[in-house]
Amino acid sequence: MMATTHVFVGLVLVAPVAVAAPDLATPLAVGAIVGGLLPDVDLVLTHRKTFHFPVLGAAGAVSAATLAAVAPSPFTAGIAACAASAWIHAASDALGGGPEMDPWTNPSDRAVYDHARGRWIRPRRWIRYDGAPEDALLASALAVPAFVVFSGPIRTVVAVALAVSLGYTLVRRRLVEWTPEWLE
């Protein structure tokens, strides 16, 4: 799944809370955006392993959400949204393809690393690869509620992220030809 799809999932996840507590909407949205992007920082380390916690991340998300419920504040709400969004990102990576650049010729059997069991989870390929047409469709469907619920700069971020997603989808398969060997 595209980084932007992960961001939209996080935003839709916190949207009902943002509707119920409008004064927390901005920290919730910022937390969801950061959490949706954060795991993929491990691209420079062991991608889909170092910062991806598809199983253990649930404990972090539940703890942070409990703390936010007991002591609601912009800070605790933002942290909870970030933890939940990062966990869902890692868990949903198992539903996509592997991290390879060209999954149509060279599919991988490693979707995301399960630190609890100490092994890789295999890709389900519901979304065959990041930037696949079904990925763009999912991103577009999620962007609608995110755009409706949030306002101001967050709404602008949603619109720009959707435009980037659709542009990326259009060139995704050609990217493999353009990417130098060493970068893949």
Tell me which residues touch Zn ion (CB under 5 A): 39-40, 93
Q: Which of 146, 105, 113, 145 is nearest to 129 (CA)?
A: 105
Q: Which residue, 31 or 39, has its beta carbon nearer to Zn ion?
A: 39
Min CB(55)–Zn ion separation in Å: 14
Min CB(1)–Zn ion separation in Å: 8
Q: Which of 144, 148, 150, 165 is nearest to 30 (CA)?
A: 150
Min CB(110)–Zn ion separation in Å: 12
Q: What does the buried/exposed string (b/e) look like for 62-72 if buried means 16 or more CB atoms within 10 Å of the residue's CB?
A: eebbebbeeee
Q: Which residue, 39 or 98, has its beta carbon nearer to Zn ion?
A: 39
C-alpha distances in Å from residue 38, one per residue of 10, 11, 21, 109, 137 = 12, 14, 25, 23, 23
Q: Which residue, 39 or 78, has its beta carbon nearer to Zn ion?
A: 39
Min CB(29)–Zn ion separation in Å: 20
